Structure 1
Amino acid sequence: MSTGLLVQYVVVGLIVLASVWIVMRKLARKTTNRWLAAASIHFSRPGRGALARAFGRRLQPSEATGDCSDGCSTCGACGPKPPATARPGEPMPLEFRPRR
């Protein structure tokens, strides 16, 4: 096997892994948040190096903060947003939200 072919396989493999991770983050958010939280705890243990603890803090998912302003709606305290109302015969208004 030539070196060029090996590099090509490695690059394609990395692209596939990145694609799988993105799909998992979109479709199985709770599962990936659990994985990230577990990895964050593993790297943030006392006695680890400063670089490992910084990496653990970076891995911590944003929903794990427990702050009411992050909009995770896991506790139900925020409540559902009421649906937009329109008069009969009028189209529903569009609502644009920025990506996270």
Structure 2
Amino acid sequence: MSTNLLIQYIVIALVVLASALYAFRKLAPALTSRWLASTSIHLSQPEHAAWVRAFGRRLQPKQATGDCSDGCSTCSACGPKPPANAKGDAVPLEFRPRRHP
């Protein structure tokens, strides 16, 4: 196997791994947050080197502050807005003819 082919395989593997991690974080945010928190606690132990502890502090997930910008979805205030017709009545469809140029 040539060196160029090996480098190509490594780059492709890194791209696939990064894509899988990104998709996993989008599909299971609570699980990945727990995993990051436990990894961060493990790496922040005093017996590790300073650079490992610094990396562990960087891995800590954001804490929910109760602000609407953190996306914690605990109060449902940030969720979808109710329809404009709050009574629950059906809104009639309105059909318009196409305009031909």
TM-score (norm 2): 0.70
Counterpart in the other structure of 1:24: 24
Counterpart in the other structure of 1:3: 3
Q: Which one of the candidate residues 42, 65, 68 is aligned to 1:67?
A: 65
Counterpart in the other structure of 1:83: 82
- The two structures, once aligned, show a CA RMSD in angstroms of 2.4
**Mapped pair 1:55 → 2:55:** yes
Answer 1 or 2: which has greater helix percent: 1
Structure 1 moving runs of 4+ over 4 Å: 86-90
Aligned-pair distance for 1:49? 2.2
Q: Deviations over 1:24-81 (max 9, x none)?
A: 011111111111111101111123222111111110111xx242223413xx3x3435
Aligned-pair distance for 1:86? 5.0
Aligned partner of residue 68 in structure 1, secondary structure? coil
TM-score (norm 1): 0.70
Whole-Å separation in 2 of the counterparts to 1:71 and 1:83: 18
Whole-Å separation in 1 of the counterparts to 2:64 and 2:26: 21
Provide structure 1 residue ranges, at least 5 long, that are not aligned to the other structure: 91-100
- Percent sequence identity is 51
Residues paired across the two proteins, number: 86
Q: Larger Rg: 1 or 2?
A: 2
